[in-house]
Amino acid sequence: MYSETDVLDYVKEEDVKFVRLAFFDLRGIQKNISIMAGQLESAFQNGVSFDASAIYGFETPEKSDLFLHPDPTTISILPWRPNTGKVVRMFCTISYPDGTPYKKDCRTLLSNAVKKARDEFGVEFSFGTEIEFYLFKLNEKGEPTKIPFDNAGYMDIAPEDKGENIRREICFTLEEMGIQPESSHHEEGPGQHEIDFHYSDALTAADNAATFKWIVRTQAASAGLYADFSPKPLDDKAGSGFHINISCSDNSKMKNVLAGVLKHAEELTYYMNCTEASYNRLGSYKAPNYIAWGYENRSTFIRVPSTTSDDASRIEIRTPDSECNVYIVFTLLIYAALDGIKNKLEPPKDIKINLFKNDGDTDSGKEIQTATLPDTLDSARKIAESSTFIKEALGF
């Protein structure tokens, strides 16, 4: 938790020459401005202006000036850059010229949700992510193909798994940047991989997930490969998910949290699955489309991992994919959880069957009747646009 003074001292003492100021557009795509180290003190005091009209989802040309304010607690060295003339990166908050927080700043939206949970409800949420991606070969022109780097399967090892060295380099790089991966392995699809992260507070978890995607792409490019985070890069193979684990500081409220997220599942879908290809993934290969939950059940929207008691200590949301804006998704999940806590919502009965083969439950032999998620991007968008919950949570 470095202060501005700490960062300025570090930059001077460690021969840092460039500072990357990172932020995100409304799609969750990382942007940055590089400044010389000598400009950092001014950036802390006054911010750094940029043209917001050129950023997706931000402002129009007649009102385009916004300012970046580096967050000193997020400083991280880029270990693949030179040791002399080092480069560091900090995430930024965004403001209007008068200093007012920018209403579409994703990190501010998430920070506000965290503050509301803590100050008004007395709870804090922890998030852990499991992120899947494919590695594809490049053609002779250096452009991505759809040829997987290997043909290995779930948790295979070398020599079938050709990606273990790249995963190792990714994990080492993340550790050097102060991010702690928990585990990594080959996934079900050919050339598909997964790296999981230890839980942390919401903002740190979102920053880490964003950094992770950047590092994966960087390391893949260094190895002459292309990292693909899209939800369904190969039509007949497993899609790539972005599984989100949530726990609450007050474990007794986890059933309310679960119920709140289930209640708003349809409204959340447009933000968790924000491309046309997202809806090709849902409904198969461990990507649920039923709005249901179950203990250890990977065919439901929410899985409650096995515990030593009947109480849920965390929940895993299995439908999101990595094209989502993680900051907005975490924000909406917190507000959905708070709705569950505020109104003491109780979840429906848990589902015990495989909903990918919804051909009857274990008791009556009848097909389980439960709601499904929107099946197209357009239908999900319409639900989100008409949602009072979404408008109140995001404020725009």
Give per-residue pLDDT as tens, 81-116.
Answer: 777 789 999 999 999 999 999 999 999 999 999 999
Using the 3D structure, point to which of 59, 77, 102 is the last residue of a domain.
Answer: 102
- Whether 58 and 156 share a structural domain: no
68 and 150 assigned to the same domain: no
For residue 108, tell me if it sits in a domain: no
Q: Are residues 95 and 123 in the same domain?
A: no
Q: Are residues 218 and 136 part of one domain?
A: yes
**Are 94 and 159 members of one domain?**
no
Give the residue from 183, 216, 196 showing the smallest Cα distance to 129.
196
Q: For the chain, how many structural domains are there in total?
A: 2
Give, rounded to a whole angstrom, the gap between the first and last alpha carbons of the chain: 31
For 115-173, the pLDDT digits (tens) are 999 999 999 999 999 999 999 999 999 999 999 999 999 999 999 999 999 999 999 99
**What residue has token string 């009965």?**
349
- Residue numbers of the domain that contains 143: 113-394
The answer, yes or no, to whether the previous bond of 159 is cis (omega within 30 of 0) is yes
In a domain, 139, yes or no: yes
- Tell me how far apart the alpha carbons of residues 257 and 264 are, in angstroms, rounded to a whole number: 11
Predicted pLDDT of residue 362: 46
Q: What is the CATH number of the domain that holds 49?
A: 3.10.20.70
Q: Which of 105-114, 177-186, 361-370 has the highest mean pLDDT?
A: 105-114
Residue 97 counted as domain residue: yes
Q: Are 86 and 136 found together in one domain?
A: no
Q: How far apart are CA 212 and CA 75, in angstroms?
A: 15
Residue 83 lies in a domain: yes
Report, as an integer, the average pLDDT of 52-67. 89
| pLDDT of 310 higher than 80 | no
Instruction: Judge contact between 48 and 21, C-beta under 8 A.
Output: yes
Q: Does residue 107 lie within any of the structural domains?
A: no
* 239/314 same-domain check: yes
- State how far the Cα of 316 lies from the Cα of 349, in Å rounded to an integer: 17
User: How much is the pLDDT for 358?
Assistant: 67
Q: How confident is the model at residue 396 (pLDDT cuts 50, 70, 90)?
A: confident
Per-residue pLDDT at 105: 96
The confidence band for 80, taking pLDDT boundaries of 50, 70 and 90, is confident
- Out of 48, 72, 102, a domain closes at 102
> Distance between CA 329 and CA 206 in Å, rounded?
9
Structure-model confidence comparison of residues 306 and 232, the more confident one: 232
My answer on whether 304 and 348 are in the same domain is yes
Q: The CATH number of the domain where 241 resides is what?
A: 3.30.590.10
Q: Any bridge partners for residue 137, and if so which?
A: 225
Structure confidence at residue 1 (pLDDT)? 75
pLDDT band at 361 (very low <50, low <70, confident <90, very high): very low
How wide is the angle at C-alpha 27 spanned by C-alphas 103 and 132, nearest 5°? Answer: 135
d(CA 222, CA 90): 23
Q: Percent of the chain, pLDDT > 70?
A: 95
pLDDT in tens, 211-260: 999 999 999 999 999 999 999 999 999 999 999 999 999 999 999 999 99
Q: Kindly state whether residue 344 falls inside one of the protein's structural domains.
A: yes
pLDDT confidence tier of residue 61, bands split at 50, 70 and 90 = confident
Do 214 and 299 share a structural domain?
yes
Radius of gyration of the chain (CA): 22
Confidence of residue 199 (pLDDT cuts 50, 70, 90): very high
Q: Are 155 and 30 in the same domain?
A: no
Q: Of the residues 77, 102, 127, which one is the last residue of a structural domain? A: 102
Looking at residue 311, its pLDDT comes to 58
Question: How is residue 223 written in tokens?
Answer: 């190895």
**52 and 186 both lie in a single domain:** no
153 shares a domain with 97: no
CA angle 203, 209, 215 (to 5 degrees): 135
Q: Is residue 154 part of a domain?
A: yes
For residue 86, the cross-strand partners are 16
Q: What are φ and ψ of residue 312, in 5° steps?
A: -80, 125
SS3 track for the chain: CCCHHHHHHHHHHCCEEEEEEEEECCCCCEEEEEEEHHHHHHHHHHCEEEEHHHCCCCCCHHHCEEEEEECHHHCEECCCCCCCCEEEEEEEEEECCCCCECCCCHHHHHHHHHHHHHHHHCCCEEEEEEEEEEEEEECCCCCEEEEECCCCCCCCCCCCCCCHHHHHHHHHHHHHCCCCEEEEEECCCCCEEEEEECCEEHHHHHHHHHHHHHHHHHHHHHCCEEEECCCCCCCCCCCCCEEEEEEECCHHHHHHHHHHHHHCHHHHHHHHCCCCCHHHHCCECCECCECCEEECCCCCCEEECCCCCCCCCCEEECCCCCCCCHHHHHHHHHHHHHHHHHCCCCCCCCCCCCHHHCCCCCCCCCCCCCCECCCCHHHHHHHHHCCHHHHHHHCC
Region 31-55 average pLDDT: 96
| pLDDT recorded at residue 308 | 44
Its pTM surpasses 0.85: yes
Reported as a single tens digit per residue, the pLDDT across 253-305 is 999 999 999 999 999 999 999 999 999 999 887 899 999 999 999 999 999 98
